[in-house]
Structures are given as C-alpha cells and as structure tokens.
C-alpha cells in the first residue's frame, strides 16, 4: 500500500483539467459486451477502478487495451465466459453492472457480491428484484449469486428505489434484447442520460430519456464505434471546494454547470468568490470567513452525496454552524471523526446528521482513507493544515481520481507519494 505525505498549509493556485467521469467509464466497459464491433472509449480516466473493471472484462474472453492517452480499445467478439466468481469482481462495487450485459448476451451470469467503499449498506436487492420482474431465476449461495433466464419477453419493471447502478444494469440489459421493456422509478443522473444516448446511437429505441420512466425496444445487433465519456462532475466540484477552502484561485475546466446546479447554488450562498464563464469555473481568492450553510443530499437533481464530504472543507472556513444531512448512505459521515481529530469543531447528532462549527484551524495528523470521497476530502484537508500529514491507503483515492498527486502539485501543493 502507498501513502501520501502532505505539508500544509498551502493555497492551491492555478488551472486544473478535469478528467472523464469515473461513474460512466465503468459502465461503458461493461456495455462493450453487447456491442457487435470493436469499441473505442475516449476521455476515460486513468484510475484504478477502470483498470480493475478492465481485468474483469478480460476474464470473459474479451480483448481490452487501456491506452496512456485516455482511450480504451475493446473487442468482445470472442467473449465466452459469464462466470466471474474467480475474478476481482467481489472487491469492486461497479462489477455489479456486468450482470445486465452478460445476462443479455449469454442468458446467464454468475457473480460474487460486489465490494467497494464502506460507506453504508448498499444492497443489490434492487438489481435482483428488477431481474426477477423480467422473468429471471436467481439463486444465491455463500455470497455468490447466479441469474438465469430461459427466454426474453416484453416486461414492465418498477425499480424499488432510484438506484443509479440498478437503472444502468437493467437499461443495458433491455437495450441488448429484441423485446420491449418499460422501466419505472429510474435514476436520472447525467451519466445515465449519456449512457442512454449512446445506447440509442448504437441502435436501441428508447423513449423517455431524462424522465423517471423509460420504454426500451432493444436490439441484439448494437453497433457503436466510439463512446466519449463526459466530464467528471464530482471531480470538478471537488477541485472547486479545494481551491476555495485553501484560499487559492484559478480555473477548473471543463465545469459541467448544467449537471452541478445544486452544488453551484450552495457554493455561491457561502459568499465564495466563484463564477462560471463558458465551461470554466473561475475561483478568485475568497474573503474569509465564509457564510455557514445547510446541506442535504439526495438523488439527482438534488445535492450529490459524492460532494457532501468536500463541502465540509468550506464549512471549516465559515463563521457559524453548517448543517450536514446525509440521506443516501448511513456511514458516509464517518470521516468527520477524523476531521475532529485534526482540530475541527464538529457535533455528530446521529449517523446521518452533523454540525460543523467554524471557522476551524486544522492540525497535522497520521490518518487513513476510509473511502474514496472521504479520502480525497482528508487529503485536501491536509493541504489546509499546519505541519506534516500522512494519509494511508492512497490506493483508495487512486480508485476515482486520476493522477491526484500530480494535479495537486501543479496547483502548488506540497505532496509526495510514498510506496511501501
């Protein structure tokens, strides 16, 4: 395992280029199983999760080449394996989205329960329930589940919750079979909309894009030469928080303003010196203290759960009490205990509600990444802290942020990666 050494406090100054969306690239890799030609994925982030998703795809008999220019070349022509139990699928949350494409291609799939960050209970019940509604038979044994279907037929599905990955899973399945599927209670995150547009381009007939109800007439002859990944809105928002809270200035681009409306409103409410021009977020040095705020996460278009923890950095610069309510995952406020260890004044009301009383000065500490989003938050908190901070398990942050230490160095951060 590697760790980061950070010496703060350093304002982050300069321009940062945002990578392609992690949450779309992982699904595009799985989708390739239903594309009847060689597929090139462009603007793919060079992150650990994409590498691991590629390893899982390779185990199906597919050919995959992850290039250094943010391109991935995939050929699934000779894919012949739908049993992923002997792969790293059990360690990667996104492995669950192989279920839909493999079921559409082979009428069978066998997967271990997916792993991922320990941010709370993320059951796959919504996925399995959706597959049961299309007539699939599901068996489970020792955390391995098998899904089988005898024939494809028209189906109506009501998702148990607005789950992003369950929506993507059943959408990819439905788009690759030549019947009609109606899906209600869909998630509508931007990455899902772009996935649907690409499936439509590949030959699936899809009505209702952008709404909670989709009607899909699929095709077993989907063809798509290039899939360009959209900008990672979570990384963009994270760097905006980083620059503002560090007392820095610069540009964050591309900045997908239409996907970050709730985030942008909240940032502006703090009084931060922040503006959007064309596709760039322009940050100028803010006058501290900022104004306190209230934040409540929810499904898109509400405030994104993945940007909840980076917003704590702004709460540390605000005068007064900022309220955080996390409705998506019950353990996602765990990182606040570590910020408290670093000197933050925090009242944890319950597992999903907390108050941050600012302004606070942080001190250095030896800490550990708990999960991807809290990991990046603690790393950025270290750039605000006096002294030398070590953050263990750098690989957790590498899962979702491309060359994070290199990007921070370009902004003036004193950061070093230490490989053990």
Last residue of a domain, one of 179, 195, 228: 228
pLDDT (tens digit, 0 to 9) for every residue of the chain, 420 residues total? 899 999 988 899 999 999 999 999 999 999 999 999 999 999 999 999 999 999 999 999 999 999 999 999 999 999 999 999 988 998 898 899 999 999 999 999 999 988 644 444 447 899 999 999 999 999 999 889 999 999 999 999 999 999 999 999 999 999 999 999 999 999 999 999 999 999 999 999 999 999 999 999 999 999 999 999 999 999 999 999 999 999 999 999 999 999 999 999 999 999 999 999 999 999 999 999 999 999 999 999 999 999 999 999 999 999 999 999 999 988 899 999 999 999 999 999 999 999 999 999 999 999 988 899 999 999 999 999 999 999 999 999 999 999 999 999 999 999 999 998
Question: Which residues make beta-bridge pairs with 217?
Answer: 180, 205
CA neighbor of 94 nearest in space, from 185, 172, 184: 172
CA neighbor of 118 nearest in space, from 348, 290, 409, 368: 368
How far is residue 262 CA from its own chain's centroid?
Answer: 17
Instruction: State residue 115's pLDDT score.
Output: 66
Is 75 in the same domain as 145? Answer: yes
Is 60 in the same domain as 201? Answer: yes
Return the DSSP state at 288.
S
Q: Tokens for 405, please give them.
A: 């230490």
Query: How is 218-242 classified by DSSP, letter by letter?
Result: --S----SEEEPPB-HHHHHHHHHH
CATH number at residue 68: 3.65.10.10
Is 246 in the same domain as 124? Answer: no
Is 15 in the same domain as 36? Answer: no
Return the DSSP state at 40.
E
Q: Of residues 67, 117, 186, 241, which has the active-site annotation? A: 117
Number of domains in the chain: 2
Is 352 in the same domain as 224? Answer: no
User: What is the rounded CA–CA span in Å between residue 294 and residue 142?
Assistant: 43
**In which residue are the tokens 């760039």 written?**
280
Instruction: State residue 294's pLDDT score.
Output: 98
Is 329 in the same domain as 364? Answer: yes
Residue 412 to residues 13, 96, 397, 398, 409, Cα–Cα distance (Å): 6, 38, 19, 20, 5
Instruction: State residue 119's pLDDT score.
Output: 40
Last residue of a domain, one of 186, 213, 228: 228
Is 270 in the same domain as 219? Answer: no
Is 204 in the same domain as 127? Answer: yes
User: What is the rounded CA–CA span in Å between residue 143 and residue 79?
Assistant: 25
Q: Number of helices (H) and strands (E) in the chain: give both, helices first.
A: 13, 23
Is 270 in the same domain as 345? Answer: yes
Radius of gyration of the chain from Cα atoms? Answer: 22
Is 152 in the same domain as 241? Answer: no
Supply the range of the domain harboring residue 287.
2-19+231-419
Last residue of a domain, one of 210, 228, 246: 228
- Pairing between β-strand 108-112 and β-strand 155-158 as defined by DSSP bridges: unpaired
Return the DSSP state at 351.
T
- 67 catalytic? Reply is no
Is 295 in the same domain as 150? Answer: no
Q: Looking at the chain, how many residues does it have?
A: 420
Is 108 in the same domain as 170? Answer: yes
User: What is the rounded CA–CA span in Å between residue 114 and residue 97?
Assistant: 10
């Amino acid at each position: 395992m590697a760790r980061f050494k950070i010496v703060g406090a350093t304002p982050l100054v300069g321009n940062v280029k945002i990578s392609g969306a992690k949450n779309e690239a992982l699904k595009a890799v799985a989708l390739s199983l239903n594309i009847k030609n060689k597929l090139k994925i462009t603007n793919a982030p060079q992150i650990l999760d994409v590498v691991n998703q590629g390893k899982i795809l390779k185990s199906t008999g597919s050919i995959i080449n992850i290039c250094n220019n943010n391109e991935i070349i995939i050929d699934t022509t000779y894919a012949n394996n739908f049993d992923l139990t002997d792969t790293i699928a059990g360690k990667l949350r996104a492995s669950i989205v192989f279920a839909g494409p493999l079921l559409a291609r082979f009428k069978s799939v066998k997967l271990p329960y997916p792993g991922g960050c320990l941010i709370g209970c993320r059951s796959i019940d919504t996925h399995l329930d959706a597959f049961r509604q299309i007539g699939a038979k599901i068996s489970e044994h020792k955390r391995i589940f098998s899904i089988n279907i005898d024939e494809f037929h028209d189906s109506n599905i009501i998702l148990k919750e607005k789950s992003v990955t369950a929506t993507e899973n059943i959408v990819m399945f439905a788009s690759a079979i030549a019947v009609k599927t109606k899906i209600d209670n869909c998630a509508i995150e931007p990455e899902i909309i772009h996935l649907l547009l690409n499936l439509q381009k590949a030959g699936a007939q899809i009505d209702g894009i952008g709404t909670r109800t989709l009607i899909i007439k699929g095709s077993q002859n989907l063809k798509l030469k290039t899939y360009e990944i959209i900008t990672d809105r979570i990384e963009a928002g994270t760097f905006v928080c980083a620059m503002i809270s560090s007392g820095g200035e610069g540009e964050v681009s591309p900045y997908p303003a239409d996907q970050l409306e709730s985030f942008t409103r909240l940032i502006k409410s703090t009084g931060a010196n922040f503006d959007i021009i064309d596709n760039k977020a322009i940050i100028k040095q803010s006058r501290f203290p900022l104004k306190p705020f209230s934040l409540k996460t929810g499904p898109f278009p509400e405030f994104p759960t993945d940007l909840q923890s980076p917003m704590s950095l702004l709460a540390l610069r605000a005068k007064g009490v900022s309220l955080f309510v996390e409705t998506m995952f019950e353990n996602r406020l765990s990182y606040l205990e570590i910020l408290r260890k670093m000197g933050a004044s925090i009242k944890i009301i319950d597992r999903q509600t907390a108050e941050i009383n600012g302004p606070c000065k942080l001190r250095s500490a030896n800490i550990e990444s708990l999960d991807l989003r809290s990991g990046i938050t603690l790393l950025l908190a270290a750039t605000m802290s006096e002294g030398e901070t070590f953050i263990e398990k750098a690989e957790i942050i590498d899962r979702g942020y491309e060359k994070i230490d290199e990007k921070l160095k370009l902004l003036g951060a004193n950061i070093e990666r230490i490989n053990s």
